[in-house]
Amino acid sequence: MAKESQKSLHEKTIAAGLPDPSGTIESVWAIAANIILKSLNDYRSKKKAAKAAVAQAKNAALDELYKKMDSSQAEKFVFRLAKARHRNSLDVTEDKIRKWQMTLADAELRLNLKKTEIMSSID
């Protein structure tokens, strides 16, 4: 490596806050280990804060859900929620096949059951 590029790399390394590569190897590794441990602690604290934020949002959503359950429209809301959960639980392929079958039936066309069975068996 050319002397100029070594010097610029050395300056960039120090400017980035990384250990001085021209020092002893023990000091370089010690500083690198400290940087890694600091980064790990930062990661853990941010992960913990993110989990707390998610839990707080979940609790707020559940509180709102329970308020709706206590209202006069609770039964209507429960059925709407059950239908939505059922639709979300359906496989995408099954949903597409069901829509395809309904469209063909509306157009008064015959349905080829062999093709439907093959398509529904695809995962």
Helix (H, G, I), strand (E, B), or coil: what is residue 108? coil
Query: What are 30-39's pLDDT values in tens digits?
Result: 888 898 999 9
pLDDT for 123: 47
Cut 0.75: pTM above it: no
Q: How far apart are CA 19 and CA 41, in angstroms?
A: 19
Q: How far apart are CA 37 and CA 15, in angstroms?
A: 20
Q: Could you state, in order of their start, the residue ranges of all structural domains in the chain?
A: 19-71
pLDDT for 115: 66
Query: What are 8-60's pLDDT values in tens digits?
Result: 888 888 888 777 777 777 877 888 889 899 999 999 999 999 999 999 999 99
